Amino acid sequence: MTSNVIAPRQLPNGLKSSPKAPQIASDSDSAYMGAKGAPARPLYKRPDLMTFDRSIKIAPSILAADFANFGAECEAIEAQGADWVHVDVMDGHFVPNISFGPTTCAAIRPHIKGVMDVHLMIEPVDPYIDAFAKAGADVITAHVEAGPHIHRTLQAIRGAGAKAGVALNPGTPAAAVEHLLDVADLVCVMTVNPGFGGQKFIDMSDKIRTLRAMIGDRPVHIEIDGGVDVNTASSVAQAGADVLVAGSAVFRGGSVSNPAPYGENIRAIRAAAEGVYV
């Protein structure tokens, strides 16, 4: 699989950063961008990985992993039962912190057998969609708050060959995405304010229930991101969520050399969620 990864190049002049442009860990590159006017052609297209169902899926966030061992960490959490691998991309503009970009995604893609779930906490989103799709993202999620044309953004994500997700900050009501449910594959409900550390879980159960009713029988996942652990998994699953993103709650106590705690943590979160999930 590593032979499919395109070598990094420099950003074209038209994508140089400005004072208000996102800084995606200085690792966006034109190698992942489609030619102007040409359709995106993702390197990794795995529709079999994204067969829809509402079973509980645990998606560890590698933001809590050992940055020096990303590849091995991804392999370890999958071996220990992770369903998806969640990648939080932050630009220092839409949110205060900076994490990583498409080059990192391309580097870890060969180490991920399942779904790579990329959460873009960046503004703007559209110039970077092709880069993340070609780096191997199976799901690309953009924030409804990150731009005025979210409908077009979701269409562009699908056009790039990825599943399209839309995220809602805690202060944004469910109604903000009601008109998007026919062009979305996932709705991510933030249960902390993105980009700020040390926060407590914010109960969004009412919002989740509202979304679940809006979605109806559409094949749209509800993902929860922020403060998910054994104490909160049951309430969000009961409200209707099926994808649970967990960072420190998964990686706590383990390491690449001692991955067993990862499995114990994943199983505990899953058991808490499935205990009430129907």
88 carries an active-site annotation: yes
List the structure tokens of 107.
């580097």
The strand pairing partners of 140, in sequence order, are 118, 164
Residue 244: phi and psi, rounded to 5, are: -115, 115
Q: Which of 27, 88, 130, 242 is catalytic?
A: 88
Closest CA to 166 of 136, 197, 144, 151: 144
Q: Are residues 135 and 105 in contact, defined by beta-carbon separation less than 8 angstroms?
A: yes
Q: Which of 27, 225, 229, 242 is catalytic?
A: 225
Place of tokens 């914010």: 202
225 carries an active-site annotation: yes
Q: Are residues 166 and 187 in contact, defined by beta-carbon separation less than 8 angstroms?
A: yes
* Segment holding 244, helix H or strand E: strand 243-246
What is the spatial distance between Cα 257 and Cα 181, in angstroms, rounded to a whole number?
A: 42
Q: What 3-state class would DSSP assign to 84?
A: strand
Sheet containing strand 84-90, edge to edge, reads: 57-60, 243-246, 221-225, 186-190, 163-168, 139-143, 115-121, 84-90
Q: What share of the chain is helix, strand, coil (3-state, %, to 5)?
A: 40, 15, 45
Catalytic residues: 88, 225
